[in-house]
Structure 1
Amino acid sequence: MPTVLGLTNDKPSKPSSSSSSKMGGGGGGGRLDTISKRNHAAALEIETLLWRALCDSPEAAKEYMADDCIMINPLFAGSSKPMGKDTDPSIDKILEGQEPWTSFRIHGDPLVVEIDLMAVALCYKVSLFRQSKRGKGSMREVVASVSSSWRQTAGADWLLCAQHVAYADDDDDE
């Protein structure tokens, strides 16, 4: 039966799980009836939005990043040098001149941990694809492991605080 807040008091079809479990509290289609479950679901959603922005227009990805965001991302910077707003080059400068990726695929279910009521971190493996310059129709794939930390603002927006991206072997277990 619906309540004033839009939640129901019906019995869940699946048992609830702890906040340290995988996305959405234990499986696809589960009810997001706790803050923890909503945070876990938001982590995957916002990470997906970030990669979509990097595929559409890398400069637009800045909208998802906190002003004090730090990262190591050799896929964009060409090196494993830590970057921030005050480094040379800065994250903003790197994203402004970045060629967009054609597409991406997150492997499996990312592992998510709730850091605080308004902060999450997740780890996963991703494949990024770019149109090959050699021939029409051929795609180049880059596989990377990613760790991202996000915090929620008072306005309920999620902002990327830190990200570490590293090249990964594509033959690792998924």
Structure 2
Amino acid sequence: MTTCTLTRIACVAGALAAFSVGGAVAASGEHHHDASPPALTLNAGSKWPTDAPLREGMTHIRARLEQTLPAVHTGQASAVQYDALGEAVEHEVAGIVAQCKLPPDADAMLHGVIAELSQAADTLRAAQDDRRAGVIRLVTALDAYGRHFDHPGWTPVATGH
């Protein structure tokens, strides 16, 4: 198993078209991931493994989203609420990345989810954008995570649609 060494900057950089991702430190030395994460796939037909920090962080992101969804649905979500959701996502992503102990293949696959979460967080905090697009992107990323990673009890986000 390896320890992820992605930095907070790499998480935020996921919002850029060509973000860079730091490497994972392996016993034989450091390796670097491609500039863009691979498309999400299953692990030979099975979901990828998760670790406790990943499951905890994703659960927290989901909870914050679910707290905000009613206001989004009614069109009453304020800029402060969108900003807070974006900041919460960024905070949890930083924690997931800092504590990651996934095997290299699962870690590489997770980079796609992390990039989507980071881009969603940026859209949630961008005053000039339709912040609801950040919510949609966040729901999509969380649902993709659930389809591709083994997180006991995870269900698709109930959006009310």
Pick the TM interval, shorter chain. under 0.3
Q: Which of the pair has more CA radius of gyration?
A: 1
TM-score, length-normalised on structure 1?
0.24
TM-score (ref. length: structure 2): 0.26
Q: Which has the higher strand share?
A: 1
Structure with the bigger RCO (C-alpha within 8 Å, sep 6+) is 2
